[in-house]
Structure 1
Amino acid sequence: MARVVWHVPVTTSGPGSTTALRLFRLRDGRRCAVGFSSPAALAALLGPDQAHTELGEPALHALTTPLGVDVLVLDPRLVAPPVTAPATPAAPAPTALLQHR
C-alpha cells in the first residue's frame, strides 16, 4: 500500500526553534487540523510562504487528539464570505452641536 502524505501547515518561532501545527476552526467553531494533497494546493489557499511539513494521516491524528482536535480536513476550501467595497462612501461621524447662550 502506498503511503499517503499530507502537507500540513505549521508555524515556526524562529530559525532552529519550535515548530507547531497550525490549527483552524470549522464553521461551528470546533478546532480542526488541515492537510493538503500537494504543496501547490497548500500554497493556493494559504500562500506560497506558508511553512509546512509532511505527515501521514495517522501521525496527524496522533498529534492532534491529545489537544482535543478530532477533525481532520483534507484540501479545505476558503469559506469566508468575499470582502466587498461599500456601495456608497461612509458618512462622516456625527459631531456634537454646541449651543451658545
Structure 2
Amino acid sequence: MCLFQYADDPEPEEQVPAGPLYVPVRPGCTAEVAIRLFRTPLGARTAVGFTSPERLTELLGTDQSWIRLSEHALRGVAAPLGVLALTVDPTFTAPPVTAVDGHRAPATPTAVRAA
C-alpha cells in the first residue's frame, strides 16, 4: 500500500478495477464459449477486455462474439490458463500469421494480436 498519494502520478501503485468489460469469445464445444486470448508485442499471453461494444467491434469486427465480465471474473477465468496479464481497450491488432508458399511467414510485432 502506498503511504503517499500524488494526484499527478501517471502510474499509481494500486490499480483501479476496470469495471464491466466486453470480452471477445469464440464458440466452445457445445453451448459454452471460450474467451479469446491474445499476445503482447513481446509474445506474452494476455486476456483482453473492452469498455464498450463499439470499441470491440471497431477493432475486431462486427462478427466477433463477446460476453460481459467483470475484471475480477475475467482474471479468474484466465488465471488457470497461466494468463495473468489483462489488456483493456487495446488500440491495434494484426492479422494472424499466414503461410506463404508453404513456409510460415514471420510474426509481425504488434500492440496486441490474436493468439
Q: Same fold (TM over 0.5)?
A: yes
Match for residue 20 of structure 1 among 20, 29, 34: 34
Equivalent position of 1:39 in the other structure = 53
Contact preservation (8 Å) 2:21, 2:52:
yes
Equivalent position of 2:64 in the other structure = 50
- TM-aligned CA deviation for residue 4 of structure 1: 1.8
Off by >3 Å, runs of 4+ in structure 1? none
- Give the share of equivalent positions with the same residue, in percent: 44
Query: Quick one: distance in 2 between partners of 1:27 and 1:59?
Result: 25
Query: Quick one: distance in 2 between partners of 1:13 and 1:67?
Result: 16
Give matches, 1:1-101, under 5 Å: 4-13=19-28, 17-78=31-92, 80=94
The alignment's TM-score, normalised by the length of structure 2, stands at 0.62
CA-atom RMSD in angstroms? 2.0
- TM-aligned CA deviation for residue 79 of structure 1: 5.1
Paired residue type of 1:10: V
- TM-aligned CA deviation for residue 18 of structure 1: 2.7
Instruction: Render the CA deviation track for 1:20-53: whole Å, top value 9, x for unaligned.
Output: 0000001111100000000000000000110000
Cα distance change, pair 72–43 in 1 and its aligned pair in 2 (3 A): same
Paired residue type of 1:46: L
Q: Decide which structure has the larger Cα Rg and report it.
A: 1
Cα distance change, pair 43–13 in 1 and its aligned pair in 2 (3 A): same
The alignment's TM-score, normalised by the length of structure 1, stands at 0.70
* Number of residue-to-residue matches in the alignment: 78
SS of residue in 2 equivalent to 1:61 = helix
